[in-house]
Amino acid sequence: MTVALGDGGHRVALRFLFWRLPGLAVLVLGALACGFASAEDLRVELSLDGTWSVAESVGAEEIPAQFGHSAPVPGLTRQAQPPFPDVDRYETHDYLYTMAHWGVRPARERIEGLARTPQKRNFFWYHRRFTPPVRRQQAVLVVEKAQFGTAVWLNGQKLGEHLGCFTAGRFDATKAMNWHGENHLLVRIGAHPGALPQGAFWGSDGEKAVWTPGIYDRVRLILSDNPRIDWVQVAPRIAQSQILVESRLVNQGPACTVQLTHQVRTLAGDRQVGLPVSDKIALGPGESTTVLQTVTVPDAVLWCPENPFLYVLHSECGSDRCRTRFGMREFRADPATGRAMLNGKPVYLRGASITLHRFFGDPQCDGLPWDEAWLRRFLVDIPRRLHWNAFRLCIGPAPQRWLDLADEAGLLLQYEFPIWSDRPPMWFTLWKQDEIIAQLQEFVRDNWNHPSVVIWDASNETRWPFLGEKAIPAVRGLDLSDRPWDNGYNKPLRPEDFCEHHPYLMRTQPPFFEMTELERLFGDPKPRAPFLPPFPNPAIINEYDWLWLHRDGRPTHLSRPVFEHLVGPAATADQRRQAAAYLLGGLTEFWRAWRKYAGVMYLAYLDADLPDCFTCDNFRDVRRLELDPWFLQFMEQAFKPLGVYVNFWQPQVSAGAERHFTVVLTNDTYQAIQGTLELAWQAPDGPKGPKTRVLFEVLPLGQVVRKVPLPAPSEVGSYQLVASAEAPSMPWSPTICRRDVRVVPAGK
Question: What order of strands is seen across the sheet that includes strand 691-698?
Answer: 652-654, 735-744, 717-726, 673-682, 691-698
Q: What's the pLDDT at 104?
A: 95
User: In whole numbers, what is the pLDDT of the chain averaged over residues?
Assistant: 93
The per-residue pLDDT for 186 is 98
Task: Compute the residue count for the chain.
Answer: 748
Q: What is the pLDDT of residue 41?
A: 54
Mean pLDDT, residues 724-738 = 97
pLDDT at residue 20, as a whole number: 35
Per DSSP, the residues of 297-348 read -TTPPBPBTTB---EEEEEE-SS-EEEEEE-B--EEEETTTTEEEETTEEE-
The DSSP symbol for 517 reads G
User: How many CB atoms within 10 Å of residue 249?
Assistant: 22
- Over residues 353-362, the pLDDT tens digits come to 999 999 999 9
Which stretch of 23-32, 277-286, 422-431, 576-585 has the lowest confidence by average pLDDT? 23-32
In the chain, ranges of CATH 2.60.120.260 domains? 2-224
Q: What is the CATH number of domain 348-638?
A: 3.20.20.80
Element (H, E) at 151: strand 150-154
Per-residue model confidence (pLDDT) at position 526:
73
**Gap between the Cα atoms of 411 and 352, Å rounded:** 11
d(CA 370, CA 393) in angstroms, rounded, equals 16
Residue 264 has pLDDT above 70, yes or no: yes
pLDDT band at residue 524 under the 50/70/90 scheme: confident
Instruction: List 184's β-bridge partners, or say none.
Output: 129
Q: pLDDT category, 27, cuts 50, 70, 90?
A: very low
Residue of 243, 307, 301, 235 whose CA lies nearest to 276: 243
CATH code given to domain 237-326: 2.60.40.10
User: Which residues in the chain are classed under CATH 2.60.40.10?
Assistant: 237-326, 643-744
Per cent of the chain over pLDDT 70 is 94
pLDDT of residue 538: 97
* Three-class DSSP category at 226: coil
Own/partner pairs, 532-535, CB within 8 angstroms, 24+ separation:
532/596, 533/499, 533/501, 533/596, 533/597, 534/489, 534/499, 534/501, 535/491, 535/492, 535/499
pLDDT band for 522, please (50, 70, 90 cuts). Answer: confident
pLDDT at 687: 67
Is 189 in contact with 215 (CB distance < 8 Å)? Answer: yes
Q: Report the 3 state secondary structure along 24-92.
A: EEECCHHHHHHCCCCHHHCCEEEECCEEEEEEEECCCCCCCCCCCEEEEECCCHHHCECCCCCCCECEE
DSSP 640-707: SSEEEEE----SEEETT---EEEEEEEE-SSS-EEEEEEEEEE-SSS----EEEEEEEE-TT-EEEEE
Judged against a pLDDT cut of 60, whether residue 280 lies above it is answered with: yes
* Better-scored residue on pLDDT, 37 or 480: 480
Q: How confident is the model at residue 532 (pLDDT cuts 50, 70, 90)?
A: confident
Starting from the edge strand earliest in sequence, which strands make up the sheet with 321-326, in order?
Answer: 272-283, 256-266, 311-316, 321-326
Supply the pLDDT for residue 530.
78
Compute the average pLDDT of residues 282-298: 97
77-105 average pLDDT score? 96
Residue intervals in the chain for CATH 3.20.20.80: 348-638
The CATH-assigned architecture of domain 2-224 is Sandwich (2.60)
Q: Which residues contact 319 (CB under 8 A, 6 or more apart)?
A: 37, 41, 224, 225, 226, 227, 228, 258
Contact 602, 588 (CB under 8 A): yes
Residue 57: the pLDDT is 98
Query: Residue 534 above 70 pLDDT?
Result: yes
Q: Closest Cα partner for 202 from 261, 145, 267, 285?
A: 145
| Rounded-to-integer distance, Cα 19 and Cα 31, Å | 10
Class (C level, CATH) for 643-744: mainly beta
Assess whether pLDDT exceeds 60 at residue 40: no
Distance CA 342, CA 332 (A): 7
Helix (H, G, I), strand (E, B) or coil at 140: strand
Residues 6 or more apart whose Cβ sits within 8 Å of residue 49 = 13, 73, 74, 218, 219
3-state secondary structure 410-440: CCEEEEECCCCCCCCCCHHHCCCHHHHHHHH
In whole angstroms, give the CA distance from residue 480 to residue 736.
43
Q: What is the CA radius of gyration of the chain?
A: 28
pLDDT given for residue 22 in this prediction = 36
What's the mean pLDDT in 692-709?
97
Are 479 and 519 in contact by the 8 Å Cβ rule? The answer is no
